[in-house]
């Protein structure tokens, strides 16, 4: 009789342990984020394969079980960010120095390929790092655009 209680206790412990592992390893993504899963055994649903045959699983608005040791997951925010873009003195096509300020709204696209590209470039970076990188690119483009325009064109095409 004692052996039967030990076996039943062991089975109950195993079931509780398996449920606890499942609960702790099941990850969900909210409506404003994508969950990027990397590693082995990704399955076939929501898996993106790039040109070099690297695979990532992208979960939006749902959840998935993360296999311990074989997989890892990280969230990627899909929220938009507002950036204030400024330029130092830039010389126009006519050689006139101008300064410009602007506002840009940046956002990661919602398609699987756009999320995969953003995950490749920004996963692991903080929000501030992503915003600073985007701000530097936008400021460079703004300087380039202003340098190819006349003062009148800048005034007309704000």
Listed in order, the ranges of the chain carrying CATH 3.30.479.30 are 81-156
**How do residues 95-151 score in pLDDT, each as one tens digit?**
888 888 889 999 998 888 899 999 998 888 888 999 999 999 999 998 888 888 888
Superfamily of domain 81-156: Band 7 domain (3.30.479.30)
Q: What is the mean pLDDT of the chain?
A: 89
Strands (E), the chain: 26-28, 33-39, 47-49, 55-60, 63-65, 71-77, 81-86, 90-91, 97-98, 101-106
């Amino acid at each position: 009789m004692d052996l039967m209680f030990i076996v039943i206790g062991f089975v109950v412990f195993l079931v509780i342990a398996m449920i606890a592992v499942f609960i702790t390893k099941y990850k969900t993504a909210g409506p404003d984020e994508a969950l990027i899963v990397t590693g082995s055994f990704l399955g076939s649903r929501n898996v993106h394969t790039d040109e070099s045959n690297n695979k990532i699983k992208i979960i939006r608005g749902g959840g998935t079980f993360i296999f311990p040791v074989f997989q890892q997951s990280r969230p990627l925010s899909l929220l938009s960010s507002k950036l204030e873009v400024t330029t130092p003195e830039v010389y126009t096509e006519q050689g006139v120095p101008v300064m410009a300020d602007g506002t840009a709204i940046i956002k990661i696209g919602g398609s699987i390929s756009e999320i995969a590209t953003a995950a490749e470039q920004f996963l692991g970076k903080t929000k501030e790092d992503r915003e600073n990188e985007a701000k530097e690119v936008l400021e460079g483009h703004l300087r380039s655009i202003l340098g190819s325009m006349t003062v009148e064109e800048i005034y007309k095409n704000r």
